[in-house]
Amino acid sequence: MQLIKIDQTLLDEMVQKHTMFRAARMGGMRAILAYHDLSGLNLAGHDLSHADFTGAMLCQTDLRDTKLDYANLFSADVRLAQMQGSSLVRADLRGICMRGAQLVGADMTDVDLREGTITTREGVQMIPGTSALPMAGNGMADLSGANLSRAKLSGAIANNCDFSDATMRGCKIVRANLQGVNMAGVDLQDADLSMCDVKGANLRGAILINVTTNATKLDEAFTEGALTEAPMGPTAKDLPESLADCLRQHMIWLGSDGRNGRRLEIDYFDLRRSPSMARACLSMMRGRGATLYGLDFSDAQMQVADMCEADLRHVNFARADLRGSDFSGANFCNATLQSTQLQPLEVSANRVVVTNLSGAFLRYANLSESNLKQVNFSSADLTNANFLGSDLTDAVFTDAKMAGARLSPAQQKQVNKTIK
């Protein structure tokens, strides 16, 4: 089928009318770009939710931070497209070709990535490619850090694709080809991987809690360090008393300057199934090497805590006070630290304790709008972390990995002063 080629000027006019359509303004019109050739054009940052891109050619198109929620991209071709940070919530991506596309950190919640083809009335296939993520020949798609919660990938060909650190909770990936796929650190909680080919797949450090693997030979994949239903250490039942009582004892210990009660010490405990810790007072607690995956610590008080090498993936620390705590070597991948206090804690007139995140893993962590004054990020992995709106005054980034980190120009200058 002959695609309709348009230029940037006409595309901009259609985008403007779609914006008016979205705002229910007179003269607005839904963007119908089905079977159009938009190769190499720029759609970055626009809201194209509900637009129709059926069978469209979007090769090397700039779609960074573009909103494509509920959009129809059935059998579209997005090879080598730049789609970092884009939003594709509930988009129809059946039969899409994503060879070499960059979808790092994209929100793909509830997308449909199953097989799909477009045919003529005579049954002749019009759009080449019948599977969701064909990788052969033109490079691999990069979906690292993307949110694919509840996405449908049944029948997808995703061999050699990069899903590292992606969130794929509740995904249906039945009968998919996942040979050689990189799923290191991926969150597959409650996903269905039945009848999948995972030969040579990298699932090291993945979260494999309550995963269905009927007829899938998981032993053919690399799963070292994966988090499964098996406890990673002592659990709540191994505490001296209930967790609630331990928290009360900790409060007494804090209020009496250590004379009464008992300090909360959960070194190497696996408490990931614990109730919410939101607004809890946890100052000076110990949790070295503890597994606290997915817990809610929003608005908590956790000053000068010892949390070295703790597993804090997908933990919510929004608005928490973490001043002066030691998180060296801790794993914060995909954690929420938005509007969090991490600046130094003034213990006394002569003593200030700096927050330590040296050697920590904060890939895809959200640190936006936080106070990060003087935080020690030396040797930390901050790949694709979000620092927008945060105060980085005198923060230390020596030898830190900063690839893809979201920084304003002013923040970038601050980082460049200390990064090696």
Per-residue model confidence as pLDDT tens digits over 284-337: 999 999 999 999 999 999 999 999 999 999 999 999 999 999 999 999 999 999
Instruction: Tell me which of 143, 162, 181 is where a domain ends.
Output: 162
d(CA 184, CA 182): 6
Q: Is residue 207 part of a domain?
A: no
Closest CA to 300 of 324, 317, 325, 323: 317
Q: Is residue 264 part of a domain?
A: yes
Runs of H (alpha helix) within 146-209: none
| Residue 115 and residue 244 in one domain | no
Per-residue model confidence as pLDDT tens digits over 127-175: 444 344 543 334 678 999 999 999 999 988 888 889 999 999 999 999 9
For the cut 90, the answer to whether the pLDDT of residue 417 exceeds it is no
| Residue 14 and residue 154 in one domain | yes
Our count of domains for the chain comes to: 2
Q: Is residue 221 part of a domain?
A: no
The answer to whether residues 328 and 347 touch, using CB atoms and an 8 Å cutoff, is: no
CA distances from 311 to 171, 185, 203, 253 (A): 23, 12, 17, 25
Confidence of residue 350 (pLDDT cuts 50, 70, 90): confident
| Residue 39 and residue 143 in one domain | yes
Q: Is residue 205 part of a domain?
A: no
Mean pLDDT in the chain? 92
Tell me the mean pLDDT in the region 367-377.
97
Instruction: Tell me which of 162, 192, 209 is where a domain ends.
Output: 162
d(CA 250, CA 271): 17
Domain containing 296 equals: 231-420
CATH number, domain of 6, equals 2.160.20
Report the SS3 class of residue 398: coil
Residue 353, H or E segment: strand 351-353
Closest CA to 328 of 355, 353, 305, 359: 359
The answer to whether residues 400 and 378 touch, using CB atoms and an 8 Å cutoff, is: yes
Instruction: Tell me which of 162, 177, 200 is where a domain ends.
Output: 162
Q: Is residue 170 part of a domain?
A: no
Q: Is residue 191 part of a domain?
A: no
Token couple for 211: 């995963």
Query: Terminus-to-terminus CA distance in the chain, angstroms?
Result: 53
